[in-house]
Structure 1
Amino acid sequence: MIGEPEIDGDWHTASGPEGTAEGAAEALPGAPGPGRVRRGRPPWLWALGGVLAASAVWAGTLAVQDRVPDVPRLGYRHSPDLCKEFELKTVAQTAGRGFEGGRSGEGVHLAQDWAYCTISTPYQDGTMMYGAELLVELHKKGDPAPDFATGPGTAPENRLDLDERQEVQGLGDRAVLDRQYAHDGTRLMVLDGGAVFTLTMQWFQVREAAAVDGNIPPATIDENAMHAAMIEDMRALMAKLKR
């Protein structure tokens, strides 16, 4: 039979008249000639070919991965009007002052989306005035973790005392509170995947009338309570922007 030698790896042909097995073999392109023996490829060659093919595919995959930067996890949405999302309820209760107004800005780019909001308490002579700045950065390509919270910012008067830095537990992947930042202020930064949230609070007392009659004593605040309020309002904002 013709099929049996093919399975066994041997294909023998014998001389014979045209139309026999010999004639059929000669009619096939590349078929062995009369009296020649065709043997199948050893099984280990097939296995070796499969290994080489798999290795080539794996090498190509690694080469593609080397060209594509790490894409960070993004579990938050971009807000073009961050002041509509930003509520300082706990901070307002702690300060005893309400916030009003606000100014928003935003940008959308291939590598990063960002939005900011600045808000403050209304001016009132002899009271403590509060200002807040919020920045939300969504990194869509590069990982922000290596450079997280490494600098004081762009304003030249800002200062950063790492000895005063506190790690905040249970907020994002990592969160830090810089107590001595800018002029009488505190900065809270949160890293969660590819998102970076920065809340900066500053406060100062308006003392124009005090300079005239001296009847207005210096105002004081509970900084620990204010820091705890910042953390709670940040937690609420992150929950609101969660996808």
Structure 2
Amino acid sequence: MISEPELVPEGHFGAAELPGQRPAADDMVAGDQEPAGPRRALPAWLWALGGAVVASAVWAAGLYVYSTAGPDLGGYRAGRNLCVDAELKALSAAIGERVDQGSAWRSAHESLDDASCYIEMRPQGYELPTDEDGNELGALPSVSVGYTLHKKTDPGPEFEGMMAARHAAVEDTAVDDASVDDPAGDGTTALRRVDGLGELAFVVRDSGGITLEVLDGQAVLSLSTSSDWDVDTGEPLTDVNDLEPMLIEDMRALLARLKS
């Protein structure tokens, strides 16, 4: 049976309202009121404030990343094989050819990389004395190379402190260089700064030879020579006192190679 049509109040035509479609009380206006306008936009200063907060957060995040990234290594890399990196062309020409590639050692850690190399050099025409069984006596002139790359901390204060301590030891104990061969009492006889090499460089001379110590940014390097010795007298057979220019030349080449 068809029921009677549902009465619709006067002024309302169309489909019946469904739940959820009924306008909210805030959106309804009386017949004698103006229609409700759009909701007011946020003030410009509030938008600017929000942008500043976001920018500050981004800057802070970038600063955190920078502070945790570690120091700038200045292009220095870990030494793969220091005996290969250290070509030592100047020292080889002055002392003698390398006996072999040398003995290399390397240790890698999160905070620093350490590498070293020991190389013997044979002067032209030089043969070590042997015993009755044919075993060589004594040792050939040698070159030692050291390289430490600091990846977390600044090695500058420690390096400067070490050099200052050596200098103070020489100055405090030196009485008369003409009569005292070892004024420091620990083998150190001279310490001199070298300009134009790395960030800070010193030459240290002692009874065993010459050592060149260099600080360059996060890298600390050393290059030293030692003489061979006469088995009978204990005196050095090869004079290494004039090798300072060769040490500097080979160190300069090594610094450049470790950045390549």
Fold conserved between structures, TM > 0.5: yes
2:91 aligns with: 91
Structure 2 unaligned spans of 5+: 1-10, 15-20, 130-137, 164-184
Cα RMSD for the two superposed structures? 4.1
Amino acid at match of 1:230: L
| Number of aligned positions between the proteins | 205
Paired residues of 1:171 and 1:190 also in contact (CA < 8 A)? yes
8 Å CA contact 2:142–2:226 kept in 1: the answer is: yes
The structure whose Rg is larger is 2
Q: Does 1:124 align with 2:123?
A: no
Are 1:242 and 2:259 matched, yes or no?
yes
Verify the 8 A CA contact 2:149 2:218 in the aligned structure 1: yes
Gaps of 5+ in 1: 1-15, 20-25, 153-157, 212-216
> 1:43 Cα deviation (Å)?
1.7
Aligned to 1:100: 99
1:134 offset after TM fit, Å? 0.6
Q: Deviation per CA, 1:2-52, whole angstroms, max 9, x where unpaired?
A: xxxxxxxxxxxxxx9899xxxxxx9899x8664656322222222122122
**For 1:131 and 1:47, how far apart are their aligned partners in 2?**
69
Asked if the contact 1:160–1:178 (Cα under 8 Å) also holds between the matched residues in 2, the reply is: no
SS at match of 2:246: helix
Q: 2:202 matched to which residue of 1? A: 176
Between Structure 1 and Structure 2, the one with more helix by share is 1
Q: 2:155: which partner in 1?
A: 144
Give the match for residue 12 of structure 1.
none
- Equivalence for 1:69: 70
Please give the alpha-carbon distance, in whole angstroms, between the structure 2 residues aligned to 1:56 and 1:74: 31
Q: Secondary structure at the match of 2:75?
A: coil
Q: Which deviations, in whole Å up to 9, do the C-alpha atoms of 1:156-180 show, x marking residues without a partner?
A: xx9585x943232332333222224
Query: Do residues 196 (structure 1) and 182 (structure 2) align?
Result: no
TM-score scaled by length of structure 2: 0.60
Deviation of 1:103 after TM superposition, in Å, equals: 1.3
Are residues 53 and 28 of structure 1, via their aligned partners in 2, closer, same or farther at CA, if it must alter by over 3 Å?
farther
Letter aligned with residue 239 of structure 1:
A
Aligned counterparts, 1:219-234, within 5 A? 221=239, 223=241, 225-234=242-251
Map of 1:111 onto structure 2:
111
Q: Quick one: percent identity of the two aligned structures?
A: 33
- CA gap of 1:62–1:206, structure 2 versus 1, over 3 A, is same
Displacement of 1:135 after TM fit?
Answer: 1.4
CA distance in 2, matches of 1:28, 1:194: 72
Residues 1:199 and 1:149: Cα distance change in structure 2 (over 3 Å): farther
| TM-score, structure 1 as length reference | 0.63
Retained in 1: the 8 A contact 2:227–2:240? no
